[in-house]
């Protein structure tokens, strides 16, 4: 299932969305609607080609504001040039879908319509979500324009998705899904386009592990991995190379993230151990089981054969092992899901396991913890700092954590 966009609060944020001419333009309706629901002010520009696929009225209705076209650009009804006003107004500019034609214009600094003039008249970050036929996307000239444009730090590019295209071709070229565009938008509004993790290798564990008694029964926990997913998105959007080691998940892997699925704590331990030497930042957000059944049956046990008492044995303490072998330049972050007093046990875990930072989050508070779209926490580090984070979306929480370690 697609990643559901979390309704991060974006009051006073101003997002300008420019729609290019392609069938993927219909997806922009969800982006505009979702951002408006978060409290962002949204304005929309449509190219002439975009109006062949979607109407200004549709986007004006969703944004609660007039949608601009080239007809507005060439009319002198504004006290100041429209592209100047829009360029100065925007905190973030999103171009979706980005067509090969608009890409070529931007790569060469051309400006012949409202969209391209507004880009050149602005200084805010620009998020690009390309969409086109596979052969078009893979053309040498298109790829050259794409990579040339991304050399400018203003521009943040989203990968295309492989799948069935409107032309019935199966391959790369589909635009990123609305939920991913919304998440990236929210990240850029938080960071203002800063790539403070550029070049860093970030290793993240997520979700719960399962320790099986037989093929159908296991010891587990309610973790969904949503916090780890948000951490992966935030790190990726801040420029990191991200490896996500995750348990069973019902969400899509973010574009650009290397994902490695695992089931048990032992499997997670092996993968984390393999990738540890290459990591700069390690975030153990997974809810790893503490124990597992001592005996495993390869065949399903009849109900009558289930043991009255279940012999258990401990599983590897992954975060403690990582702490023992990490290098001085590496940063290790742990999580402590707690009820009641969350600070005391988290502080004890921080010290006992020799972590650099720990995130103490309550799982007995409404709309927080396992399975929730939101979270709240107290960050503690080995230098004695404590920062309380009020309830917010998990993506916001992830950004707050990376802000904390940056200091």
| Closest-CA residue to 237 (of 196, 279, 206) | 196
**b/e 147-183 (16+ beta carbons within 10 angstroms → b):** eebeeeeebbbbebbeeebeeeeebbbbbbbbbbbbb
Neighbours of 267 (CB within 10 A): 16
Cβ distance 90 to 16 under 8 Å? Answer: yes
Would you say 194 and 164 are in contact if contact means Cβ atoms under 8 Å apart? no
Integer angstrom CA distances of residue 185 from 142, 217, 253: 24, 41, 17
Q: Are the beta carbons of 128 and 155 closer than 8 angstroms?
A: yes
State the catalytic residues. 167
CA distance 379 to 371: 20
| Residue carrying the six token digits 């949608």 | 67
Distance CA 361, CA 348 (A): 14
């Amino acid at each position: 299932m697609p990643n559901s966009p979390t309704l991060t609060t974006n009051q006073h944020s101003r997002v300008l969305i420019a729609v290019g001419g392609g069938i993927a333009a219909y997806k922009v309706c969800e982006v505009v609607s979702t951002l408006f629901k978060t409290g962002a002010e949204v304005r929309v520009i449509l190219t002439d080609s975009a109006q062949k696929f979607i109407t200004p009225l549709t986007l004006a209705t969703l944004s609660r504001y007039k949608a601009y076209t080239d007809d507005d650009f060439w009319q002198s009804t504004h006290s100041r040039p429209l592209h100047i006003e829009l360029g100065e107004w925007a905190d973030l500019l999103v171009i979706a879908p980005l067509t090969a034609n608009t890409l070529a214009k931007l790569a060469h600094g051309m400006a012949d319509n409202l969209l391209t003039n507004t880009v050149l008249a602005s200084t805010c970050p620009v998020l690009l979500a390309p969409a086109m036929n596979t052969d078009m996307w893979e053309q040498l000239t298109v790829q050259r324009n794409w990579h040339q444009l991304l050399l400018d730090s203003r521009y943040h590019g989203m990968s295309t998705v492989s799948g069935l295209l409107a032309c019935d071709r199966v391959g790369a070229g589909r635009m990123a899904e609305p939920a991913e565009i919304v998440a990236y938008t929210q990240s850029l509004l938080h960071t203002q386009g800063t790539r403070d993790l550029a070049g860093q290798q970030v290793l993240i564990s997520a979700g719960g592990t399962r320790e099986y008694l037989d093929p159908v029964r296991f010891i587990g926990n309610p973790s969904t991995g949503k916090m780890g997913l948000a951490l992966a998105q935030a790190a990726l959007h801040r420029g990191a190379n991200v490896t996500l080691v995750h348990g069973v998940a019902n969400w899509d892997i973010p574009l650009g993230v290397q994902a490695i699925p695992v089931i048990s704590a032992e499997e997670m331990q092996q993968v984390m151990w393999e990738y540890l030497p290459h990591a700069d930042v390690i975030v153990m957000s997974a809810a790893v089981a503490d124990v597992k059944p001592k005996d495993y049956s390869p065949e399903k046990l009849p109900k009558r054969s289930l043991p009255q008492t279940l012999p258990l044995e401990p599983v590897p303490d992954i975060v403690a092992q990582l702490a023992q072998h990490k290098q001085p330049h590496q940063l290790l972050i742990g999580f402590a899901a707690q009820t009641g007093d969350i600070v005391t046990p988290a502080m004890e875990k921080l010290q006992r396991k020799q972590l650099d930072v720990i995130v103490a989050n309550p799982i007995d508070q409404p709309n927080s913890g396992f399975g929730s779209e939101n979270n709240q926490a107290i960050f503690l580090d080995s230098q004695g700092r404590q920062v309380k984070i009020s309830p917010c979306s998990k993506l916001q929480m992830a950004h707050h954590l990376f802000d904390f370690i940056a200091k």
